[in-house]
Every structure is written in structure tokens, then in C-alpha cells.
Chains A and B, each alone.
Chain A
Amino acid sequence: MYLVSGPIDPSALLADVSAPDRGGVASFLGVVRDHHAGREVLRLEYSAYPAMAELECEHILAEARGRWPCGVTLRHRLGTLEIGDLAVAVLAASAHRAAAFDACRYVIEQLKRRVPIWKREFFADGTDAWVDPTAASEFAPSRRDAT
């Protein structure tokens, strides 16, 4: 299960991808931040289409393993998350660092694009909004700025 309702433990994932012939491990940890497009964020809520999300995660990880010789895994947390909570973790291990970095980057970028997970932000002014990366509004995160 790649979607979890409780805290993510990156050290447990490290054990999952480690092997005697893998000398480089790259990780991406996505943490809930306190601002978005200039507004103060108090907390986030993640929801998903779990059956499809699990399937899509499996596809993305298989693609990464096919492109780079690596061990790679991920977890994404659902539910209400507070500032500083770990929302997503990707770990990739390979013989050398280049493949580990590339596989890790590939998985997080594809996850954001393809896995049916939705983020709702709760702002300090009492309002809330679903994040829409495709919206041409001031609240749409840029690709670079997005967690």
C-alpha cells in the first residue's frame, strides 16, 4: 500500500530499497509548508481515489525500475496534515548516485501528474480551497514552486 493514513517513516523505506550492491540512495521528502501563493496555510487535507492511486503508483515505480537499475518506493499520506508533517516520501537506491537521483526525480514528478490525489488547503483567514495546478489563477502553484 503506497497510500497511508498515519505518519511516514523514511527509515523503514530506506530498508525497503537498500541492497548490498546499491551504494547511492536519493530521497525526496515533501513536507507541508505554511504558505501558498502569498497566503498563510494552517493545514492541508489530502484525499484520493485509492484503488486507482495504488495502481498508478505501481505503474510509475515499475517504469522507474525499467529505466534505471534501482530499488525505489514511495508513500503518500492522506487525511489532515499539519505544517511540518511529511506528506510524501520517495526513496531510490542504485549502485551509483546518478541513477538514484534520476529515478527519485522521475517518481515524484510522475506522481504529481498522474496519481489521483487531491490537496485542500485551509488558510489562516478561515477559507479553504482545493489546489488546482491547472488553474490560471494566482493560487495555482507553479511547477517549480509546488511541493
Chain B
Amino acid sequence: MSVSSSDASVTVAVRLFARYAELLGTESLALTLPAGATVGQVIETLRRQPGGALLPPRLLVARNLIQAGESEQVAPGDEVAVLPPMSGG
């Protein structure tokens, strides 16, 4: 059986907000990683994007609207949001 590219890779939608969106110069981008990639690997890839090195060392991340740990695997179409320290109220 042949392995299609969709089996070998996973594309996620990364959302950026507030100061982080300014650092990267965008509010959203699509990142493609090897299948089985984790939230932590999505963040590593994000740090290699233009401006990504300016992100702080510790990041709060949500996967599909729920706070996520670095070891969580991502699935195709997941929304991975990188959240600056919250300052509502």
C-alpha cells in the first residue's frame, strides 16, 4: 500500500494574539509537521519562523480551545493557539 503525503504529515493552524501576533507579524499561519508531531514540536517550528525567536521561553498553548501540554500529539486541522499572559478585566 502506498502512503499518501497526508498520512506522513500533519498540518495545523497556528493562531497568534496581541504581542505575539506583533512579534511574528501575523495572526495565523499553517505549519506542516511529520505525522505524530506534538504541541512542543509545533512550538519549536513556530520559533524558527521570522520573528519566532522573539517569543518568550515559556508559552501558554491551547489546542482546539483547551490548554495543552507540550507532549500532546496534534491531529490534522487542529487549531494551536499561542496565548500571551492574559490581561482582561
Contact = CB atoms under 8 A, between A and B. Distances in A.
Nearest to A119: B87
Interface string B45-62: 000000000000000001
Nearest to B18: A118
A130 B81 contact: no
A116 B81 CA distance: 10
Interface residues of B, number: 14
Interface string A82-103: 0000011000000000000000
Q: What's the dominant secondary structure at chain A's contact region?
A: mixed
A130 to B, nearest CB: 4
A65 B81 CA distance: 28
Contacts of B86: 112-118, 133
Given A55-B65, A118-B84, A111 B18 contact: no
Contacts of B87: 112, 117-119, 130-133
Interface size class of A (residues with CB under 8 A): 20 to 34
B17 A116 contact: yes
Nearest to A131: B87
Contacts of A146: 89
Contacts of A118: 17-19, 84, 86-88
A147 interface: yes
Interface of B: 15, 17-19, 62, 65, 81, 83-89
Given A115-B88, A116-B17, A132-B85, 8 more contacts: A49-B17, A49-B62, A49-B81, A76-B88, A88-B88, A112-B86, A118-B19, A120-B18
15 contacts: A47-B17, A49-B17, A49-B62, A49-B83, A52-B65, A76-B88, A111-B89, A112-B87, A113-B86, A114-B86, A116-B86, A117-B88, A117-B89, A130-B18, A132-B87
